[in-house]
Amino acid sequence: MVLFLGEAEQRTYSVDGKLIKLDTSEIINQGLVKIAADWKEVTEILAKGIENPPSKQTIRKSAFEYLKNHQGGTEIACHLIHQFLNNL
């Protein structure tokens, strides 16, 4: 389980003239990432996961499905890093 401390967000980036929308809510809604408002909630989420862990097969299937639908992310990430470094 991956925990994200904060809030789901949507951002739009320009990569080679194309607008790329990154939305963290999708991966959260699929249950691959849990979101917590603070460290107390993080501990509650972890405790629930220990008490009633999801099946590894279910997690693996969801993860592969998410990755299949989001191929090409490495290229986008490299372009964003390149843009950031050029703006320093």
**What was the pLDDT predicted at 47?**
92
Q: Hey, what are 61's tokens? A: 């299937």
**pLDDT tens for each residue of 30-83:** 888 888 888 898 889 889 989 998 888 988 888 888 888 777 777 777 888 888
**Backbone torsions φ then ψ of 13, nearest 5 degrees:** -120, 155
**What was the pLDDT predicted at 12?**
74
Contacts of 5 (CB under 8 A, 6+ apart): 35, 36, 37, 38, 39, 42
**What was the pLDDT predicted at 65?**
86
> Which residue in 56, 6, 69 sits closest to 35, CA to CA?
6
**What was the pLDDT predicted at 4?**
58
**What was the pLDDT predicted at 74?**
79
Per-residue pLDDT at 17 exceeds 80: no
